[in-house]
């Protein structure tokens, strides 16, 4: 199990305190809110009547540099509530924190930076500010206090810190590359998807090219699933509120669901945010025995979640999406085999895309037991079981208390893209709660009625998020099997068009996605356009090709070669069918 880098966390947390102190030195009237270290840096939220922008960063960074150069000591102190209220009087954010600390029967802890700056904090920190060797402020954004849109909008400054300037430079270079490979930018350039104000924010519209990528991804997952005995189903996108009341989503998840009104009924309906409640009804539709188990069903139907407008980002967080969703109804004795089967499929898919990954064990928040359904003893059992499954499959993982679903812990796959950023894709969950709430049963070998265990599983998760990841991971240069257009023929002049169309027909009949560029452009312009479209293969047709009967092939990598048409077709089909990353 991989442990968090506490030294880096301490460094970044300390740098956040330096940022806060620098801000107060420059603008004493601002009110501190909060500012933790995060995965790739830190941030600080504050309230101010002054509008602070990235133009102010040089001034803030200069003040931070002075504090760092002073090599001030970080000193931890446990204080009384009386003293804490004196230190943070007239600051409603700190007063709110203090009230929560008191409610939890804890003592206020502060950290001093030198003798003048102090903040409520439990650490960790480095010993002195001089240990901060390399830092940079990155961006400014708006953020609601504690993430609640009913609260005041604050200003948030993001930054990062590293043990050395070299590491910081590498990180900044990665951010610049990420801007170039932003999937929203690539989606427009490659004509894959769009958004419309008339349709609504968070509802992506896929063009013919974008739809090809979705279909190919789903086709791949279905090919793997069907070989392992999974059966595809299709379920409605709307369901009665009663379904979600039984599942627990009505009470625990209602705020994130779209309510649907009927013109002919007073019944309450919702767009479904997940498939599992409806899948229970497929299982329950007829009597089941132990001979029917494991019962594996998959579903690619659309799902809808009412995400907050400020959290919608391209395809990474949307309001309409699908999942390569699967639910396995099985006996307790079958859980291990089914979990291993799922993990084996997940490993195969991750290998196809050459993704590195680790798992997140998403467990309960021990401080919020009322957020979860089911017997705590069952939770203890399934959380331990999840650890055993990952250990047996030699999976690297880390703990994430509070990230569990309300009905079960989760084994969430976190993949790392080409820029080192981490994203959740797959999930695997052992669920006792939902089968019990829906009164699902099967007959065992002795004729007794038993409740099945329900496994929730996804491989790539949402195609929306997966498309975002692979677009940025490959910089738009998708593997040939996923490329909407795999080959483009570039006739040099109009007189070469007839031969180009002949080759087009020959290759298209073999199932390859191909186009002919019939524009009245120069060859260089056609090559440039094809490169911009990230076309894997360009076939150039001129007098030489007509005479020789061979084709001049140009790869998007810039490589050129003469090949036989039939050899090219066979090699291309092999790469496509093998879902190769090579071209």
* pLDDT digit string, tens, across residues 276-292: 999 999 999 999 999 99
Which pLDDT score is estimated for 420? 66
Candidates 288, 305, 360, 473; catalytic one: 305
What is the predicted pLDDT for the residue at 123? 85
CATH superfamily of 223-249+273-301+323-469: Bira Bifunctional Protein; Domain 2 (3.30.930.10)
User: How do the domains of the chain map onto residue ranges?
Assistant: 6-171, 223-249+273-301+323-469, 487-577
Tokens of 240: 């009665």
Q: Among 45, 324, 325, 517, which one carries the catalytic annotation? A: 325
pTM, to two decimals: 0.82
For the question of residue 15 being annotated catalytic, the response is no
Considering the chain, what is the average pLDDT of its residues?
93
pLDDT for the residue numbered 343: 96
Say which of 276, 326, 429, 496 is annotated catalytic: 276
**3-state DSSP assignment of residue 327:** strand
User: Residue 374: left if φ>0, alpha if ψ -120 to 50, beta else—which one?
Assistant: left
Residue 2 pLDDT: 39
Q: Which of 214, 288, 456, 526 is catalytic?
A: 456
pLDDT at res. 419: 61
| 276 assigned to active site | yes
Q: Give dist(CA 6, CA 63) in Å, integer.
A: 26
d(CA 338, CA 398): 22
pLDDT value at 3 more than 60: no
Q: pLDDT above 90 covers what percent of the chain?
A: 83
524 is a catalytic site residue? no
Is 31 in contact with 46 (CB distance < 8 Å)?
Answer: yes
Q: Is 456 labelled as part of a ligand binding site?
A: yes
Q: How confident is the model at residue 6 (pLDDT cuts 50, 70, 90)?
A: low
Nearest to 303 by CA among 237, 232, 229: 237
What tens digit of pLDDT does each residue of 119-136 get?
Answer: 999 888 999 999 999 999
pLDDT tens figures, 308-364: 887 888 998 999 999 999 999 999 999 999 999 999 999 999 999 998 889 999 999
Active site residue 242: no
- pLDDT value for 1: 38
Residue in 156, 214, 327, 450 annotated catalytic: 327
SS3 per-residue string spanning 398-460: EEEECCCCCCCCEEEEEEECCCCCEEEEEEEEEECHHHHHCCCCEECCCCCEECCEEEEEECC
Question: What are 388-439's pLDDT values in tens digits?
Answer: 999 999 999 999 999 999 999 999 999 876 666 788 999 999 999 999 999 9
Place of tokens 């038993």: 450
Task: Report the first-to-last Cα separation within the chain, whole angstroms.
Answer: 37
pLDDT digits (tens, 9 = 90+) for 177-230: 888 889 999 999 999 999 999 999 999 999 999 999 999 999 999 999 999 999
Contact status, residue 398 vs residue 404, Cβ threshold 8 Å: no
Task: Let me know if 456 is a catalytic residue.
Answer: yes
Q: What is the topology classification, in CATH, of domain 487-577?
A: Rossmann fold (3.40.50)
Q: Is 279 a catalytic residue?
A: no
Ligand-binding annotation for 330, yes or no, is no
The average pLDDT across 353-377 equals: 92
279 is in an annotated binding site: no
Tell me which of 3.30.70.940, 2.60.120.200, 3.30.980.10, 2.40.30.170 is the CATH number of domain 6-171.
3.30.980.10
- Say if residue 462's pLDDT is above 60: yes
Can you tell me which residue has the tokens 């301490």?
A: 10
pLDDT of residue 80: 93
Tell me, yes or no, if 17 is annotated catalytic: no
Q: What is the mean pLDDT of residues 168-173?
A: 92
Whether the predicted pLDDT of 528 surpasses 90:
yes
Count of CA atoms in the C-beta half-sphere (13 A) of 454: 30
Q: How confident is the model at residue 559 (pLDDT cuts 50, 70, 90)?
A: very high
Residue with tokens 């001129």: 542
């Amino acid at each position: 199990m991989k442990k968090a880098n506490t030294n880096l966390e301490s460094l970044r947390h300390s740098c956040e305190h330096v940022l806060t102190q620098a801000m107060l030195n420059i603008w004493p009237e601002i009110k501190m809110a909060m500012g933790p270290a995060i995965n790739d840096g830190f941030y600080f939220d504050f309230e101010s009547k002054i509008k602070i922008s990235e133009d102010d960063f040089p001034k803030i960074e200069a003040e931070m540099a002075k504090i760092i150069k002073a090599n001030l000591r970080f000193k931890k102190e446990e204080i009384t509530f009386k003293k804490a209220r004196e230190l943070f009087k007239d600051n409603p954010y700190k007063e709110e924190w203090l009230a929560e600390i008191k409610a939890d029967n804890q003592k206020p802890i502060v950290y001093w930076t030198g003798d003048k700056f102090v903040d409520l904090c439990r650490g960790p920190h480095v010993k002195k500010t001089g240990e901060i060797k390399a830092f940079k402020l990155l961006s400014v954004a708006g953020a609601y206090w504690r993430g609640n849109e009913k609260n005041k909008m604050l200003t948030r400054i993001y930054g990062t810190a590293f043990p050395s300037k070299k590491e910081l430079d590498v990180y900044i270079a990665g951010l610049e590359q990420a801007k170039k490979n932003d999937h929203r930018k690539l989606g427009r350039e490659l004509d894959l998807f769009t958004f419309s104000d008339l349709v609504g924010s968070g509802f992506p519209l896929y063009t013919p090219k974008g739809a090809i990528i979705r279909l190919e991804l789903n086709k791949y997952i279905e090919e793997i699933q069907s070989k392992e005995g999974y059966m595809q189903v299709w379920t409605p996108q709307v369901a009665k509120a009663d379904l979600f009341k039984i599942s627990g989503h009505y009470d625990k998840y209602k705020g994130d669901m779209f309510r649907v009104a009927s013109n002919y009924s007073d019944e309450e309906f919702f767009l479904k945010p997940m498939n599992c409640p409806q899948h229970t009804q497929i299982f329950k539709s007829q009597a089941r025995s132990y001979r029917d188990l494991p019962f594996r069903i998959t579903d690619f139907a659309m799902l809808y979640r009412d995400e907050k407008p400020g959290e919608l980002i391209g395809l990474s967080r949307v309001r309409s999406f699908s999942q390569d969703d699967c639910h396995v109804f099985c006996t307790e004795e079958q859980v291990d085999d089914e979990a291993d089967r799922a993990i084996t499929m997940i490993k195969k898919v991750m290998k196809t895309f050459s993704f590195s990954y680790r798992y997140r064990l998403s467990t309960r928040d021990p401080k919020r037991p009322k957020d979860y359904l089911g017997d705590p003893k069952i939770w203890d059992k399934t959380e331990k079981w999840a650890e055993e499954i990952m250990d047996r499959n030699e999976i690297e993982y880390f703990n994430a208390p509070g990230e569990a679903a309300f009905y079960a812990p989760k084994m969430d796959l976190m993949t790392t893209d080409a820029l080192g950023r981490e994203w959740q894709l797959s999930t695997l969950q052992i669920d006792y709660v939902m089968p019990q709430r829906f009164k699902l049963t099967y007959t065992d070998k002795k004729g007794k009625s038993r409740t099945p265990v329900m496994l929730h599983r996804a491989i790539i998760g949402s195609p929306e998020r997966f498309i975002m990841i692979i677009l940025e991971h490959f910089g738009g240069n998708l593997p040939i099997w996923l490329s909407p257009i795999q080959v483009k023929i570039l006739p040099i002049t109009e007189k070469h068009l007839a031969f180009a169309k002949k080759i087009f027909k020959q290759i298209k009949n073999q199932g390859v996605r191909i186009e002919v560029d019939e524009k009245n452009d120069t060859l260089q312009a056609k090559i440039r356009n094809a490169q911009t479209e990230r076309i894997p293969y360009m076939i150039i047709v001129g007098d030489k090709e007509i005479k020789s009967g061979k084709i001049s092939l140009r790869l998007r990598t810039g490589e050129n070669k003469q090949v036989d048409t039939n050899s090219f077709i066979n090699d291309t089909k092999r790469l496509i069918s093998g879902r190769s990353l090579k071209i």
